[in-house]
Amino acid sequence: MEKIKKYSKVIYILWLRQLKRYYRSRARMVGSLAQPVLFLVALGFGFGPIYQKAGGGNYIQFIAPGIISMSIIFTAMFAGIEVIYDRQFGFLKETLVAPVPRWTIMLGRTFGGATVATIQGIVVFFIAILIGFRPENILLAPFALIFMILIAFFFTALGTAIASPMEDMQAFPLIINFLIMPLFFLSGALFPLSGLPKAIQTIIYINPLSYGVDGIRAVLTDQMHFTLQTDFFVLFSFAIIALAIGSYLFSKIEV
Amino acid sequence: MNIIEVKNLVKRFDDITAVDNISFNVKKGEIFAFLGPNGAGKTTTIKMFTTLLQSTSGKVLINGFNPSTHPNDVRRSFGIIFQDPSLDDELTAFENLEFHGVLYNVPKKIRRARIEELLKIVELDKRRNDLVKEFSGGMKRRLEIARGLLHHPKIIFLDEPTLGLDPQTRNHLWSYIKNMNQKENITVFFSTHYMEEADRMSDRVAIIDNGKIVAEGTAEKLKKETSSQTLEDAFLKLTGKQIREEGAKNIDKLRSMRRVWRK
């Protein structure tokens, strides 16, 4: 009992640190909104007419959940990768010599990063509404939050796991090119999943983000490819696995 | 009573032996200087003491605990000032200390009082709510010292704490450290390249070179043994004047040291 109290304090203070840093770097906040908004406007209005002609309906309606997911995955991954920043600027050592289990540090960081990413997703949700996105049933919108939080958790933990054994920032662009972009493009965020070549479909089926996008889309627009239960359990399992692997790799860090 | 006990400690990286079978003790309340040329094994040794690196073999006891088997007991026992800055620049001075206090489970009332006390001691109480990124190098060091002392550690490790600081700041830092050493009987274990600093501040000195302890004792004793005027002369006599010895093997070694340092 004493231990639980102690550990939750550690998790809380790491969470708070992450939020303070986010709140203080407004440039980052605004900067990370630019890309989703650009995608929403350029793709939403650009491909809108074609999508409509092909019988798909309103394209903004279709991609808004995808773009919300995109903003979350980018922010979450970067929050995870902040381990590298902290290593570079020395702060990581301060947390590694603290008399607490490493997994509490990892968990605190993940909670913080996931919270920031979820906030970012909510902001994009409201921007989408300004641009013309209309949720099917606004009362169901809070349920989309469950999927947003799960995506945020999964990708923050994944980012931490990837960054933990890494030494320097040069790996940064590599991660973006080889991981974030493919995950995003091959998730059904931008196009419907039916009628795709087998190979692409297989990749999409093993991409956890596909289930997150599908879950948000199901709740907000009533269109779905999998079922809500599948979406939830697949994403939930991935999040737990990523947390476990992330905790393990983080606990192995030697500075 | 020995607060640090080291026996036959070895650390190997791949095929390089960074710390080669060293043994020494540090008494409680002592100010102990750990000297050596670059790449001699100082930082590696401190990392093993502070649970940041696992030793290859040998025995270490910090405040009676083994860093490999009881890391959290060891971590509670010491405070550390790293060679490179380790503050969060995006937080204020107070927030950095508060963060540390919570991490070390210092109860709120004691924590707040201690933060006030330490901010006054290191003369940063007026800058408590400023972001650390606005601080000068010397101010950051002072804040790190306050942070290292926050949880009432038994030992404080300082890895080249005065590197790159002006004489004024250096003197101030040492007066805080000396003051805490006397007031709270904190054992001070520090490494430095400034030999006059080691001579002036330490009760005892150990010199490490190529991973081995080459001399140990009071600064006076080392000077006498090498018939030197200053500790710097004694140091040079004991470790040689070469910047680092001959051969490609040593370049590889230096490179791997750099790898350890950069981490």
Instruction: Please tell me the least confidently modeled range out of A92-96, B46-50, B183-187, B226-230.
Output: B226-230
B62 touches chain A (CB under 8 A): no
Residue B253 pLDDT level (bands cut at 50, 70, 90) = low
Give the phi and the psi of residue B155 in degrees, each rounded to 5.
-130, 145
Q: Which pLDDT value is given to residue A219? A: 92
Q: Which pLDDT value is given to residue B151? A: 94
> Region A110-118: what's the mean pLDDT?
96
**pLDDT tens per residue, range B2-51:** 999 999 999 998 888 899 999 999 999 999 999 998 888 898 999 999 99
> In whole angstroms, what is the distance from residue B250 CA to residue B245 CA?
7
Percentage, residues of chain A above pLDDT 90: 56
**Chain A residues interacting with chain B (CB cutoff of 8 angstroms):** 6, 9-10, 12-13, 17, 20-21, 24-25, 87, 89-101, 167, 254-255
**What DSSP line would sit under chain B, residue for residue?**
-EEEEEEEEEEEETTEEEEEEEEEEEETT-EEEEE--TTSSHHHHHHHHTTSS--SEEEEEETTB-TTT-HHHHHHHEEEE-SS--S-TTSBHHHHHHHHHHHTT--HHHHHHHHHHHHHHTT-GGGTTSBGGGS-HHHHHHHHHHHHHTT--SEEEEESTTTT--HHHHHHHHHHHHHHHHHH--EEEEE-S-HHHHHHH-SEEEEEETTEEEEEE-HHHHHHHTT-SSHHHHHHHHH-SSSS-SSHHHHHHHHHHHHHHH-
Whether A99 and B75 lie within 8 Å, measured CB to CB? yes
Q: Which pLDDT value is given to residue B169? A: 85
Q: Which pLDDT value is given to residue B251? A: 47
**pLDDT tens per residue, range B178-218:** 998 999 999 999 999 999 899 999 999 999 998 999 999 99
B262 touches chain A (CB under 8 A): yes
Q: Which residue of B has its CA nearest to A251?
A: B52
Q: Which pLDDT value is given to residue A3? A: 86
**CB nearest A10 (choices: B50, B88, B103):** B103
**CB nearest A96 (choices: B52, B54, B95):** B52
Residue B262 pLDDT level (bands cut at 50, 70, 90) = low
Whether B76 and A20 lie within 8 Å, measured CB to CB? no
Nearest-CA distance B123 → chain A (Å):
22
Whether A13 and B263 lie within 8 Å, measured CB to CB? no
> Region A88-113: what's the mean pLDDT?
92
Q: Which pLDDT value is given to residue B203? A: 94
Q: Which pLDDT value is given to residue B246? A: 41
Q: Which residue of B has its CA nearest to A168?
A: B263
Residue B248 pLDDT level (bands cut at 50, 70, 90) = very low
Inter-axis angle of helices B108-121 and B93-103, nearest 10: 140
Q: Which residue of A has its CA nearest to B262?
A: A255
Whether B76 and A99 lie within 8 Å, measured CB to CB? yes
Q: Which residue of A has its CA nearest to B53?
A: A254
Q: Tokens for B234?
A: 């004694």
Whether A255 and B105 lie within 8 Å, measured CB to CB? no
Q: Tokens for B76?
A: 């509670």
Whether A10 and B102 lie within 8 Å, measured CB to CB? yes
In sequence order, the 6+-apart residues with CB closer than 8 A to the CB of A70 are A35, A36, A39, A184, A189
Q: Which residue of A has its CA nearest to B76?
A: A99
Q: What is the pTM of this model?
A: 0.87
Q: How high is the mean pLDDT of chain B?
A: 88
**CB nearest A20 (choices: B54, B71, B91):** B91
B12 touches chain A (CB under 8 A): no
Tell which wins on pLDDT, A174 or B9.
B9
Q: How high is the mean pLDDT of chain A?
A: 90
Angle of CA points A209, A215, A216, to nearest 5°: 95
Q: Which pLDDT value is given to residue B259? A: 55
**pLDDT tens per residue, range A181-230:** 899 999 989 988 888 899 999 999 999 999 999 999 999 998 888 888 89
> Region A164-192: what's the mean pLDDT?
84
Residues on chain A touching B262 (C-beta within 8 angstroms): 167
B84 touches chain A (CB under 8 A): yes
Q: ipTM score here? A: 0.87
Q: Which pLDDT value is given to residue B261? A: 55
**CB nearest B52 (choices: A99, A101, A255):** A255
Q: Which residue of B has its CA nearest to A100?
A: B72
